[in-house]
Amino acid sequence: MIGWASLTPWSDRRAYDETAETSFYVESESRGHGIGRQLKLAIIAEARRLGFHSLIARVAEGSGESLHINESVGFTRVGVLKEVGKKFGQRLSVHLLQLILD
């Protein structure tokens, strides 16, 4: 396996049943060949098939490639959560992106 994508409920509250969070990952040796974009497009198509209205993506700061892939398929930045994560002893902010489906 060289990558994966997932679609998960954004909240356990019923009012948000039509919103899901998207995630994807491509192993480092396979990056730069369009696989991330293909995974993202496939998960968007699946979300449409399942009847979702809104998709959310969270991207940790420093993940420029992930921001680019999300924006290239239509996600827009809607906010930043400041210092909500920690990795390798560094506090991380997270970009929030959203795509409203037709």
Of the pLDDT bands very low, low, confident and very high (cuts 50, 70, 90), residue 77 is very high
Beta carbons of 92 and 86 less than 8 angstroms apart: yes
Closest by CA to 98, choosing from 58, 65, 62, is 58
Q: Which two tokens stand for residue 49?
A: 């098939």
| pLDDT top residue among 18 and 34 | 18
In order of their start, the domains of the chain are 3-100 (3.40.630.30)
Q: What is the tens place of the pLDDT at every residue in 30-59?
A: 778 888 899 999 999 999 999 999 999 999
What is the rounded CA–CA span in Å between residue 72 and residue 97?
12
- Number of Cβ within a 10 Å radius of residue 35: 18
